[in-house]
């Protein structure tokens, strides 16, 4: 960690999600003061109990559609880690959820532009904002951060997760560039965790991802490290595909299927072959070579 970052205050939004909660704990371990902006108000009390035990943690109830609550959470922070979590009362992606995600991204970046102390924003997006394209109408080449999912393709095949992530990230980039906000994005693969469900919106189109060699996943610890690395490294820029698993053979399929539905093979991936990996995270790998994930302040 650069000495200038020691004892700095950062905001994590939404801190009540799986990624957000893990980021809060890791950042506190590294010596940061943290503003935990919690969108799920059912989680507020548990965070408040945690903050009573740690003076470096402050908790804010926030709403990405409430500009004032965003400004309050960002006040005095030098950085923001932002991720959009689905509403608990509607945990599936549909068209209207995409509209909500886009409005939230706009509001958050506008709030950052209005907060003088914000030096850097780490915006969590998805690999689904990178991989979806009409293979018949494009040159077959490896996918990397320069690629964007085709919005019309996503609409045609109702790939709502990819559509939402693509439009929200493009909205954030447009505002960041227009308002001079220093932003980097993490385009994460499928987040692996014990409660992963077949209903996870990332899995829509899994068979096509598998056959195209772009079905990737990421462990929570690696994803947290990637976020902190791109924040702390002053040379980071643009987008970063983030994954540490590639699912491209039958063994990978069987393992994932047993996690999701132990009694069957649910994903339509009963393919005995091995598909060539067609996606690269080389940009992030180079950045993380010297990253010390174990660094923490006593």
Give residues with Cβ within 8 angstroms of 220, minimum separation 6: 18, 19, 22, 191, 192, 193
The residue among 148, 152, 164, 149 whose CA lies nearest residue 86 is: 164
The residue among 233, 256, 230 whose CA lies nearest residue 245 is: 256
Q: In angstroms, rounded to a whole number, what is the distance separating the alpha carbons of residues 12 and 254?
A: 35
| Range list of H helices, 76-219 | 95-113, 151-156, 160-179, 206-212
Q: In angstroms, rounded to a whole number, what is the distance separating the alpha carbons of residues 127 and 133?
A: 12
First to last CA, the chain: 14
User: Of residues 165, 170, 251, 278, which has the active-site annotation?
Assistant: 165
Cα–Cα distances (Å) from 112 to 21, 122, 287, in that order, read: 21, 11, 25
Q: In angstroms, rounded to a whole number, what is the distance separating the alpha carbons of residues 251 and 272?
A: 9
| Residue 165: active-site member | yes
Secondary structure element (H or E) that encloses residue 191, with its range: strand 190-192
The residue among 265, 268, 148 whose CA lies nearest residue 204 is: 268
Q: Which residues are designated catalytic? A: 165
């Amino acid at each position: 960690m650069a000495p200038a970052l020691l004892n700095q205050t950062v905001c994590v939004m939404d801190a009540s999600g799986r990624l957000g909660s893990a980021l809060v704990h890791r950042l506190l371990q590294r010596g940061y003061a943290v503003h935990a902006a919690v969108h799920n108000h059912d989680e507020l009390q548990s965070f408040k109990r945690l903050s009573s035990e740690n003076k470096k943690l402050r908790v804010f109830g926030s709403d990405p559609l409430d500009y004032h609550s965003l400004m309050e959470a960002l006040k005095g922070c030098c950085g923001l880690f932002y991720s959009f979590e689905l509403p608990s009362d509607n945990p599936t992606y549909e068209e209207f959820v995409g509209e909500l995600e886009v409005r939230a991204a706009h509001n958050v970046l506008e709030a950052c532009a209005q907060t003088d102390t914000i030096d850097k924003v780490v915006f969590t997006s998805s690999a689904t904002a990178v991989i979806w394209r009409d293979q018949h109408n494009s040159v077959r080449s490896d996918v990397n951060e320069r690629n964007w999912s085709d919005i019309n393709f996503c609409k045609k095949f109702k790939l709502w997760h990819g559509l939402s992530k693509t439009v929200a990230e493009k909205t954030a980039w447009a505002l960041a560039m227009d308002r001079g906000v220093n932003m980097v994005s993490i385009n994460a693969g499928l987040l692996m965790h014990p409660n992963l469900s077949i209903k996870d919106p990332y899995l829509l189109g899994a068979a096509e991802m598998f056959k195209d060699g772009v079905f990737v996943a990421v462990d929570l610890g690696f994803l947290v490290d990637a976020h902190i690395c791109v924040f702390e490294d002053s040379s980071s820029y643009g987008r970063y595909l983030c994954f540490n698993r590639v699912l491209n053979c039958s063994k990978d399929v069987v393992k994932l299927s047993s996690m999701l539905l132990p009694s069957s093979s649910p994903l339509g991936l009963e393919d005995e072959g091995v598909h060539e990996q067609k996606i690269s995270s080389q940009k992030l790998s180079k950045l993380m070579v010297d990253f010390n994930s174990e660094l923490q302040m006593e």
